[in-house]
Amino acid sequence: MSTANLLRAETGFPGVAPAPTSLNLDTVVSELRAVRERWRTAQHRQIEFGGRELPARDALRSIVDDLRGALFPMRLGPADLRQEHEDGYVRETLGTALKALADQIALELHYQIRHGRPDADASPAAVQRIVRDFAAALPAIRACLDSDVEAAYRGDPAAGSVDEVVLCYPGILAIIHHRIAHELYRRGVPLIARIVSELAHSATGIDIHPGATIGGSFFIDHGTGVVIGETSVIGRGVRVYQAVTLGAKRFPVGADGSLEKGLARHPIVEDDVVIYAGATLLGRITIGRGSSIGGNVWLTHSVPPGSHVTQASSTQGAGEHGAPSHD
């Protein structure tokens, strides 16, 4: 008997080795089932038997790997790819990735219907429309990413080439994921978008919510510890350094005591702003075009275009209109 058949015969589940009887796993399995049932009851979820209910993180990791390769085939594609075969590789890879993405989108849309969005459309036609529109956006995503790569190369004297930037820079990995995730977020599958973002967060330490709107030529230098919240709006040509936070100042609570969701609560950063390491910007404030926010600044009020805010100036008294003193 083959190993697979032996495992199937002994466990009833293919590919799972039988556990030693001394572990008393029947009791553990029974108790885990009881905990799961208590959770589902508390969450008002029906106990259902069948296939997977939620999008799969591993499946989305594979999909995004394929999408990165299709966007940058000669740099992020397979090692043996030749340039004369680029189009064939891109076509085949996108075909595989988009079909798999459709399966994950269908899972999320059915999940939405079961959990509070009865108006969600999980029909095959709706799924295909999302996938088709997402695919149509890929050339624009690549063009925007090219501007991000150029911004990183121009903005970092240590960058030896644009190829080094694509292959090595964690900020570029994070923004590739973000531009894919943001498009999916806009198309109505926020859970999938969040998983795509969190894959980059796990790999880079850069946490960008897929709802954040970020213009082209965006550069995250070094990057570890950067946090960009859901309703942040960032213009073109913005550069941020490690440990920068664009966060919420407060979290309004509704009548039932739960946090109110969906409110605009993160900063607006206009074009050509530089935010240095460790700066924290909180609330729905506006950082005017061409401003420079110094390292470790804590800022909770807007500043006009062309401001140069340092630790000393940001802690001085605000002016008549709430703007800090600036150089």
Per-residue pLDDT of the chain (327 residues; tens, 9 = 90+): 444 454 444 455 555 566 566 788 999 999 999 999 998 888 777 655 567 789 999 999 999 999 999 999 999 999 999 999 999 999 999 999 999 999 999 999 999 998 888 889 999 999 999 999 999 999 999 999 999 999 999 999 999 999 999 999 999 999 999 999 999 999 999 999 999 999 999 999 999 999 999 999 999 999 999 999 999 999 999 999 999 999 999 888 878 878 888 899 999 999 999 999 999 999 999 999 999 999 999 999 999 999 999 987 765 444 333 344 333
Domains in the chain (CATH in brackets) are 54-205 (1.10.3130.10), 225-327 (2.160.10.10)
pLDDT for 253 = 82
pLDDT for 20 = 64
pLDDT for 325 = 37
pLDDT for 176 = 98
H or E element in which residue 309 lies? strand 308-309
Residue found under tokens 């069948």: 50
For 19, the token pair is 């556990």
pLDDT for 10 = 47
Give the count of beta carbons closer than 10 Å to the beta carbon of residue 71: 23
pLDDT for 302 = 98
Residue found under tokens 């739960």: 258
CA distances from 252 to 67, 259, 260, 265, 286 (A): 38, 6, 6, 10, 20
pLDDT for 251 = 81
